[in-house]
Structure 1
Amino acid sequence: MLAGRKYRLEFDSGQAAFAERLGGICRAVWNTGLEQRREYRRRGGWITYAEQCGQLAEAKKDPYCGWLADAPAQVIQQTLKDLDQACRKHGTWKVRWKSKAKWRPSFRFPTAGHLPVEPIGRKWGRVFLPKFGWARFRMSRPLGGASSPRPCPGTASTGSSVSWSTMGSPSGRNTPALDGWAWTGGWSRPP
């Protein structure tokens, strides 16, 4: 039986800002990819995940889209893969846009087994996230399979048996969270 584990991840202020930016990049990739798929469907055609990834690689070279190069390639390719799966399951016209007002920024690293995890002390550990660097987390439980690529029961298919979350922020607003190597968070509007 697989058992999920949840640990509190603590980004520093620079990493938290980068996580926000990366979530916005993934939203832009999702919305652009969805519009592209809908345009193909209007014309009676279909575009595949592989074609969109190729076009994404070309777009990263364009000086007007240099912001795409800030994101780890595996993260934005995973966004396109998630879009492809949603379109195949629900149909291109039933998949929704990622609204800036209603959507919490999120991204995920599909290769959880390749992310190094190290204990720092008895209660703390750290995980290396590409383009983030090392991020500390509180080891409230033993790691026990933290780098296993098997999905956790009861979580979205995130590719890992570990669920990460962050608590507390300097501004007092809601904080970002990593859910099975997938960051979902962003700052909600104050009440």
Structure 2
Amino acid sequence: MQLRFQYRAYLTPGQCISAARVFGCKRVVWNDALSLQKPRKAANKCLGNPRHRTAEGPYLQIPKAAELGKLLITSAKKSSERAFLTDAPVGVLQQALRDLDKAWKAHEDSKSGKRKGGRVEPPRAKSRKDNRQTARFTVSDHFKITKDGRLRLPKIGNVRVKWSRDLPSAPSSVTLIKDRSGRYWVSFVIESDPVADALPTVDGDQGIDLGLSRFAVLADGTHIASPKYLRRAEKKLKRRQRELSRKKKGSSNRDKARMKVARAHAAVADARRNFHHQWSHKLTGENQAVFVETLNVRGMARGRLAKSVHDAGWGQFVSFLAYKATRRGRQIVKIARDFPSSQICSACGHRDGPKPLHVRTWACSRPKCRAQHDRDWNAGKNVRNEGRRILTAPTPPTPGPGASRR
């Protein structure tokens, strides 16, 4: 499996200028390629109508990354208008064309139903006003980690990196990232063997019920308090945003105020991410199997609790659980969205019916049971029971090639 290791990078003022040139060259190549491909897409849509078919054929061929590379990189560097492309490594510019191909493919596959998920919009032109910039360096660019612990990036120089942990193997690529708050990061892609990284087998499993008042309640009764990082920082964010709105557009003071807003938001996101990392690390390390419910986060984020849903970050937490479980040799089971975890009595299995959200404790209506339940704890137990049932359920046999499809 592929893993991504990210570290903080500290660029000198001269290196920041060089990095800005690399980002700009990548943006120009992307926009040039997009300007060639978009008219052909529109023409193909028109020629798809039988009334517009031509003798040469109904469709115009869209140039691929290799053809665009010769036209927009190799040949363009010889012209006076695009001579500045020599300020960026060739691999970074070629990678921009590959990424554009992937963006078009994702858009087409989403329209035809080949790609799971929602509709993917077609790629758009990149603006120099974008506050987040990236540039990916491949092995062909000959990036290198020097003996003194610096990262040598072509056209930029030896970058100082804060190595919070060692790289387990040689990276296949590195991405230089400038986030909205002006910080620089380097992200390495590493090939990892899940068998070698697997932890010793342990006895135990855990069911997780995610919530808002409490971030999660586990099947063993553990309550994880909701940190509510965004709610706690709202006063500071309001003040920073108010200061930004008073600044004149286009002024340097407005840029400084925008940076303060971005840094305040980055602090919230970093704290939330660290919280998710800590608990996903703990849960996958102490349990052989982890069961979690599947929530419609996108739908819940459209309601009156949208800010609290975004503040909890359930989607990020579940994704952390999934990749860490895979890497450590653990099992993670996602329970179906329609499973009534809050309606079933975990003691006797009786389904007691739906309950409004303000009901936090309830008693089983079955006369022989009458068990008292905390709503979230009971849901965590039911999630664990359902996960165990899914793990022990026999796998249906695969029909042979001659089997009937009825």
Give the TM-score normalised by structure 1: 0.72
Alignment of 1:148-163 (within 5 A): 148-149=171-172, 159=173
Per the TM alignment, residue 43 of structure 1 is displaced from its structure 2 partner at its CA by: 3.3
Instruction: Provide the C-alpha distance between the structure 1 equivalents of 2:141 and 2:155, rounded to a whole number of angstroms.
Output: 17
Alignment of 1:102-121 (within 5 A): 102=130, 104-111=132-139, 114-120=142-148
Residue from 134, 148, 161 that aligns with 1:137: 161
Instruction: Provide the C-alpha distance between the structure 2 equivalents of 1:113 and 1:143, rounded to a whole number of angstroms.
Output: 19
Per the TM alignment, residue 8 of structure 1 is displaced from its structure 2 partner at its CA by: 2.1
Letter in 2 for 1:178: V
Cα deviation, 1:34-80, whole Å, max 9, x if unaligned, reads: 11101222333211111101102101111221111111111011001
Per the TM alignment, residue 175 of structure 1 is displaced from its structure 2 partner at its CA by: 2.0
Indicate how the Cα distance of structure 1 residues 21 and 164 shifts in structure 2: closer, same or farther if over 3 A, else same: closer
Q: Is structure 2 residue 41 aligned with structure 1 residue 17? A: no
Instruction: Provide the C-alpha distance between the structure 1 equivalents of 2:84 and 2:160, rounded to a whole number of angstroms.
Output: 26
Instruction: Provide the C-alpha distance between the structure 1 equivalents of 2:129 and 2:86, rounded to a whole number of angstroms.
Output: 25
Letter in 1 for 2:184: P
Per the TM alignment, residue 143 of structure 1 is displaced from its structure 2 partner at its CA by: 3.1
Q: Is structure 2 residue 80 aligned with structure 1 residue 63? A: yes
Q: Is structure 2 residue 107 aligned with structure 1 residue 90? A: yes
Name the count of aligned residue pairs.
165
Q: Could you say which residue in structure 1 is the equivalent of 2:225?
A: none
Indicate how the Cα distance of structure 1 residues 101 and 131 shifts in structure 2: closer, same or farther if over 3 A, else same: closer
Contact residue 8 and residue 184 of structure 2 kept, 8 A: no
Q: Could you say which residue in structure 2 is the equivalent of 1:38?
A: 38
The structure showing larger relative contact order (alpha-carbon pairs under 8 Å, at least 6 residues apart) is: 1
Contact residue 8 and residue 166 of structure 1 kept, 8 A: no
User: Tell me, what secondary structure is at the counterpart of 1:107?
Assistant: strand
Per the TM alignment, residue 17 of structure 1 is displaced from its structure 2 partner at its CA by: 1.1
Instruction: Provide the C-alpha distance between the structure 1 equivalents of 2:3 and 2:176, rounded to a whole number of angstroms.
Output: 14
Instruction: Provide the C-alpha distance between the structure 2 equivalents of 1:128 and 1:164, rounded to a whole number of angstroms.
Output: 12
Moved more, 125-134 or 4-13: 4-13
User: Tell me, what secondary structure is at the counterpart of 1:109?
Assistant: strand
Contact residue 142 and residue 154 of structure 2 kept, 8 A: no
Q: Could you say which residue in structure 1 is the equivalent of 2:67?
A: 51
Instruction: Provide the C-alpha distance between the structure 1 equivalents of 2:42 and 2:65, rounded to a whole number of angstroms.
Output: 18
Per the TM alignment, residue 180 of structure 1 is displaced from its structure 2 partner at its CA by: 2.9
Q: Give % identity.
A: 30
Contact residue 27 and residue 105 of structure 1 kept, 8 A: no
In angstroms, what is the RMSD of aligned CA positions?
A: 3.0
Contact residue 10 and residue 137 of structure 1 kept, 8 A: yes
Indicate how the Cα distance of structure 1 residues 142 and 21 shifts in structure 2: closer, same or farther if over 3 A, else same: same
Per the TM alignment, residue 144 of structure 1 is displaced from its structure 2 partner at its CA by: 2.6
Letter in 2 for 1:15: Q
Q: Could you say which residue in structure 2 is the equivalent of 1:180?
A: 188
User: Tell me, what secondary structure is at the counterpart of 1:135?
Assistant: strand
Cα deviation, 1:104-125, whole Å, max 9, x if unaligned, reads: 22211122894221342xxxx1
Instruction: Provide the C-alpha distance between the structure 2 equivalents of 1:40 and 1:176, rounded to a whole number of angstroms.
Output: 37
Letter in 2 for 1:81: R
Instruction: Provide the C-alpha distance between the structure 1 equivalents of 2:88 and 2:188, rounded to a whole number of angstroms.
Output: 19
Instruction: Provide the C-alpha distance between the structure 1 equivalents of 2:98 and 2:43, rounded to a whole number of angstroms.
Output: 22
User: Tell me, what secondary structure is at the counterpart of 1:63?
Assistant: coil
Instruction: Provide the C-alpha distance between the structure 2 equivalents of 1:16 and 1:25, rounded to a whole number of angstroms.
Output: 14
Q: Could you say which residue in structure 1 is the equivalent of 2:227?
A: none
Letter in 1 for 2:144: P
Instruction: Provide the C-alpha distance between the structure 2 equivalents of 1:129 and 1:24, rounded to a whole number of angstroms.
Output: 16
Letter in 2 for 1:133: G
Mark the runs of 5 or more structure 2 residues left unpaired by the alignment: 45-59, 109-119, 190-254, 262-406
Letter in 2 for 1:28: V
Q: Is structure 2 residue 27 aligned with structure 1 residue 27? A: yes
